[in-house]
Structure 1
């Protein structure tokens, strides 16, 4: 134990003496820069310092501002401005079921800029010809005609009529003989009421539907409508081809009135889109304009006394004008003429330039100096 203590003391003495010697030997300026060591460092040496690697600096990425792509605005066709209707505008009354309701919307849009036409839509979506206990068109139509005083009536109904009908107290199945006979009588009665007094009547037929069975039944009903309406003096408007493809099958999308491919029917395969309603009206609109004439002219029109300012007169006949049968300059012999007006006589071989070209391949010489003048001697003849 005493030996260990002696060695520690001896080491301390050496360390002290070495420190004094080093302090005396190093200049004052250098002493300030020397780091003082502890006793343990003098005995066991200074441990090597581990170099601490600096932590890598992570730079936050700059936020990238992406420019939003500006899509070119598609120029929409402006909707035609509604025109004020004339006080004496003719009323077109549209009656029927939900198909007639769609037709009415389309006709309102079609005649929006027509001051002489007012479209009145009086439809009942669930009505028809069979269930007169729910809604009876023969009972309601005369009152509507008296109230609206229409110049023309458009009817479209039948989409709800695929059901049994009570005939003489008995329930008859759809398309049975008794059912068909009664249905024809009811259609004829409604058509006669609408056409009373010679009022123009248009009955629009049913379109095709997504259900093949429903479509087949509509063709049968359309046959009845056409026959009975024409007997009553009205006109049947067939719209079938506008809503089927070339093979006669139902279509959801097709051409609109401008020839563009659009969706015409709803997802249920029954109702119509806005474009489909306008296409329905397209077929009926043509007949309305034909029947109502000047009243169906688009535009502001002439009102009041302005119509009297237009005076149309026939041109007076000039006595000095001499009338003569026209003749051909190249070949007057073909039409019986031999001379031009004024006595100038034309001489020819009786063949036109076309006949010469077809028969013998002869062509007339190009005028002198023209680019296609290939004659060797281009001297003008007196």
Structure 2
């Protein structure tokens, strides 16, 4: 694969801040490729591979996001988080089992806190859902998590990006390989059924490009925006509509109406002039009678063979 040309980003390029776990890091790599040729958009990854909502003692996203937004001053925040959260969570003094009633209530509270923190910073954001995973139980949990993320995003003015269909087959089952962004079959996931390949990272970004471009004010994913354009404002004037194509259609005509083309009768209406019935060709086609073969010719099947006359030998020599 040829290397893409490196486009230097403008000093005042719009910042897209990507936060979350190791899948968010892969998403940021895919977005880097998607916007590589756009000098006015810069992807900044501040993911923490082992983080999640469960272990807030290790990394507390609702708290950390505030300082990240203040430091990076992003135009958009992209969140992808949750692949590490299938574990016990301490709620008060009790360790709750994953997806138990108390566990789920606390999990919803923490996801809601992250959405509110971004909303309070007055920055538009996208919340990218989890894909399917190799383990069936993990896939089932991710479906439940996605419902929670969807609710948190909508509650706080964000937009949920559903990537699920890009990593399952037509029956909704996890797939290791599948179509890339160009429809070509590629490997999307690693052997562990969790991590994503380079093509998989680009596919995650593909689902995020369109809503991201809309927030940034781009006319379409991959187009170049001006660095001075305000967030959310369209920056490319729409092209004038093309003039309607005038089609000169021919009116239908009947086979019984030859006057439409200036004629007076249909082709083949007049019978052809009759040929001389005594000609060998006419006898052969009309009566089925072949002319008598010349003695010694290839089609002379008489027996015993006739002796060619001098005139026939002369005519044969002439034909040769």
The reply to whether TM is greater than 0.5 is yes
How does 1:305-344 map onto structure 2 within 5 Å?
Answer: none
Equivalent pair of 1:114/1:299 in contact (CA under 8 Å): yes
In 2, Cα distance between the equivalents of 1:152 and 1:300?
A: 17
1:299, CA displacement in angstroms?
Answer: 6.5
Q: Does 1:188 align with 2:82?
A: no
Deviation at 1:368, TM superposition (A): 3.5
Cα distance change of structure 1 residues 196 and 303 upon mapping to structure 2, 3 Å threshold:
closer
Asked if structure 2 preserves the Cα contact closer than 8 Å seen for 1:91 and 1:149, the reply is yes
Counterpart residue number, 1:367:
261
Q: Report the CA distance shift for 1:111/1:367 in structure 2 as closer, same or farther (over 3 A).
A: same
Aligned to 2:54: 130
Work out the CA distance in 1 between the residues paired with 2:227 and 2:66: 32
Partners of 2:210 and 2:137 in 1: CA distance: 31
Compared CA separation, residues 297 and 180, structure 1 to 2 (3 A): closer
| Residue 224 in structure 1 maps to residue 148 in structure 2 | yes
Aligned to 2:80: 156
Counterpart of 2:290? none
SS in 1 for 2:45: strand
Change (3 A) 1:295 1:95: farther
* Change in 2 beyond 3 A, CA 1:123/1:295: farther
1:243 corresponding residue in structure 2: 167
Partners of 1:100 and 1:123 within 8 A in 2 = yes
1:119 is paired with a residue of what secondary structure? Answer: strand
Q: Does 1:255 align with 2:149?
A: no
Whole-Å separation in 2 of the counterparts to 1:172 and 1:303: 48
Q: Contact (CA 8 Å) 1:91, 1:148: kept in 2 or not?
A: yes
TM-score calculated relative to the size of structure 1: 0.61
> How far off its partner does 1:168 sit?
2.3
What per-residue deviation string (whole Å, max 9, x for no partner) do you get for residues 306-327 of structure 1?
xxxx999x9xxxxxxxxxxxxx
Q: What is the Cα deviation at residue 88 of structure 1?
A: 1.7
Determine whether 1:107 maps to 2:31: yes
TM-score (norm 2): 0.72
CA contact (8 A) 2:210 2:221 kept: no
How well do the aligned residues superpose, as a CA RMSD in angstroms? 3.1
Structure 2 runs not aligned, ≥5 long: 229-235, 241-247, 271-320
Q: Report the number of matched residues.
A: 255
Residue 182 of structure 1 and its aligned partner are, at CA, apart by 1.0
For the pair shown, which has the larger CA radius of gyration, 1 or 2?
A: 1
Residue 93 (structure 1) shift:
0.2
Name the SS of the counterpart of 1:203 in structure 2.
Answer: strand
Whole-angstrom distance in 2 between the partners of 1:111 and 1:244:
26
Residue pair 2:12, 2:227 contacting (<8 A) in 1 also? no
**In the alignment, which residue of structure 2 is the partner of 1:66?**
none
Return 5+ residue gaps in structure 1 as ranges: 1-75, 305-309, 315-328, 331-351, 378-382
Q: Secondary structure at the match of 1:280?
A: helix
294-303 or 135-144, which moves further after superposition?
Answer: 294-303
Q: Which has the higher contact order (CA 8 A, sep 6+)?
A: 2
